[in-house]
Amino acid sequence: MFLFIHLSWLFFGSLVLYFFPKKIKKKKKMEEWPPVTILIPCFNEENSIELTATALQFLDYPKYEVIFVDDASTDKTPEKIEEFVKNNENFYLLRLQENQGKANALNIALRFVSTPYVVVIDADTILHPSALKALISHFTNEKIGAVTANPIVFNRKSFLGKLQTIEFTSIIGLIKMSQRIFGRIFSVSGCAAAYRTDVLIDVGGFSPYSATEDIDVTWKIQRLKMEVVFEPDAIVFIHAPENFKDYWNQRKRWALGGWHLLRTHRTIFKNFKESFLWPLYIDVILSYVWSFDFVLLIIYVVLSKILNLGINISLIAWGGSFLTALGIIQATVASILYRKYDPKIPQYLIYAPWYFIFFFTINAFAVVRTSYKGLISPLHVVKWRSPERKINS
Residue range 108-121, pLDDT digits in tens: 999 999 999 999 99
In a domain, 345, yes or no: yes
Domain residues for the domain of 230 are 1-388
pTM of this structure: 0.89
Q: How many domains does the structure of the chain reveal?
A: 1
Mean pLDDT of 133-157: 93
44/360: higher pLDDT: 44
Go through the chain and tell me how many residues it has: 393
- Is beta strand 192-196 parallel, antiparallel or unpaired with respect to 64-71? unpaired
Pairing verdict, β 192-196 and 144-153: antiparallel
Instruction: Report how far residue 339's alpha carbon sits from residue 328's, in angstroms, rounded to the nearest whole number.
Output: 16
Residue type, 225: K
Name the strands in the sheet holding 117-121, side by side, starting at the edge strand that comes first in the sequence.
Answer: 91-96, 64-71, 36-42, 117-121, 192-196, 144-153, 227-238, 126-127
Return d(Cα 56, Cα 25) in angstroms, integer.
29
Q: Is the per-residue pLDDT at 201 higher than 90?
A: yes
Cβ-count burial 267-285 (b if 16+ within 10 Å, e if not): ebeeeeebeebeebbeebe
Q: Tell me the pLDDT band of 338, cut-offs 50, 70 and 90.
A: confident
293-325 pLDDT per residue, tens: 989 988 888 888 788 777 777 767 777 777 778
CA–CA gap between residue 284 and residue 294 (Å, rounded)? 15
Task: Give residue 386's pLDDT band: very low, low, confident or very high (50, 70, 90).
Answer: low
Question: Taking the CB of residue 26, how many other CB atoms lie within 10 A of it?
Answer: 8
DSSP string, 281-315: HHHHHHHHHHHHHHHHHHHHHHHHHHTT-----HH
pLDDT of residue 354: 81
Average pLDDT of the residues of the chain: 86
Residue 92 has pLDDT above 70, yes or no: yes
CA 1 to CA 37: how far, in whole Å? 45
What's the number of CA atoms in the CB half-sphere (13 Å) around residue 252? 11
- Of 129-133, 146-150, 185-189, minimum mean pLDDT range: 185-189
Mean pLDDT of 218-246: 93
In single-letter form, the type of residue at position 223 comes to R
pLDDT at 335: 80
Spatial distance between the Cα atoms of 92 and 67, rounded to a whole number of angstroms: 5
The three-state secondary structure class of 41 is strand
Residue 321 resides in a domain: yes
Burial of 38 (0-12, 13-18, 19+ CB in 10 A): buried
As a whole number, mean pLDDT of residues 146-162 equals: 91
The most confident of the ranges 65-69, 313-317, 345-349, 388-392 is: 65-69
- Please indicate, yes or no, if residue 393 is contained in any of the structural domains: no
Mean pLDDT of 340-369: 86
Angle between helices 314-338 and 2-19 (to 10 degrees): 20
CA dihedral 311, 368, 170, 343 (to 10 degrees): -120
Averaged pLDDT, 134-140: 95
CATH no. for residue 74?
3.90.550.10
Residue 127 inside a domain? The answer is yes
